Structure 1
Amino acid sequence: MVSPELYVALRHSHLGLVSLSVALFALRGLGALSGAAWPLRPAARGLSVAIDVVLLLTGVSLAVGLQVSQAWLPVKLGWLVAYIGLGSLALKRAPTRAAKALAFVLALGCVTMLVGVARAHHPLGWFA
């Protein structure tokens, strides 16, 4: 169990990193859709990876420290895996611009659902 002070610090860090990560993904996705080269350059990719690694570490720390084992956590992780896969398609792997755009919109939808599950602490998220 984590102390209340550590919990607050981890939670605020996690929420801030979520905001940074999603904002950077949105910017990179819009850049990729417009045909810009910078979203795939090492600096942009490296920053994204660095933010996401620390984000993952804070999330794991919260889950372990709070001994979270509710039914909503695997659902949240499922949305995360879908977001990562769709984000990869949106930024690089989809063969056409239309497919990249669709993957981008679907990835942002996954984030929306992931946030809903996390906020509600319920597998149905916004629909609970």
Structure 2
Amino acid sequence: MSYLAIKHLHLSCVVLSGLGFALRATWMWRASPLLQHPLARRLPHIIDSLLLGSALTLAWLSGQYPFVEGWLTAKVLGLLVYIGCGTIALKRGRTPSIRRHFVLLAGLSYAYIVGVALTRQPAIFF
């Protein structure tokens, strides 16, 4: 598979991951039973696995690695924040208020990751 094909897979998964999170957050706010549908529970893991796999492949093919390149390090750290906030937003938040706050924080971390990817600058908001 070519670098360009893997990059397109990665970018598609980025969009699908963000849209999927937004959709599941909307379902959570509305207490929709769709949130418990098997596809809604499994598909995000498949998309995110493809996203991570394509990211690792792109790093290997380009010779740019986290903890060597500052912008990739920022993306990895942003990803950890996104995962943590997303987990609290959709599963572990005890109250609706906590969940709403963490949906917002997850959205901001997603925007940060995309911004860093586009600019290759870790301090995009400063």
TM exceeding 0.5: yes
Tell me, yes or no, if structure 1 residue 21 matches structure 2 residue 17. yes
Q: 5+ unaligned residues in a row in structure 1: which ranges?
A: none
| Paired residue type of 2:8 | H
What is aligned with 2:96?
A: 97
Tell me, yes or no, if structure 1 residue 46 matches structure 2 residue 37. no
Q: Secondary structure at the match of 2:32?
A: coil
Q: Give 1:99 deviation, angstroms.
A: 0.6
Moved over 6 A (4+): none
Q: Give 1:126 deviation, angstroms.
A: 5.0
**1:80 & 1:58 partners in 2: Cα distance?**
14
**1:25 & 1:82 partners in 2: Cα distance?**
14
TM-score, normalised via structure 2 length = 0.91
Pairing 1:72-111 to 2, within 5 Å after superposition:
72-111=71-110
Identity score, percent: 35
**1:87 & 1:117 partners in 2: Cα distance?**
19
Task: Give the length in aligned residue pairs.
Answer: 123
Q: Give 1:39 deviation, angstroms.
A: 1.8
Q: In structure 2, which of residues 38, 47, 53 is the aligned counterpart of residue 57 of structure 1?
A: 53
Cα RMSD of the aligned pairs, angstroms, is: 1.4
Contact 1:14 1:58 in 2 (8 A): yes
Q: Secondary structure at the match of 1:125?
A: coil
Q: Give 1:101 deviation, angstroms.
A: 0.5
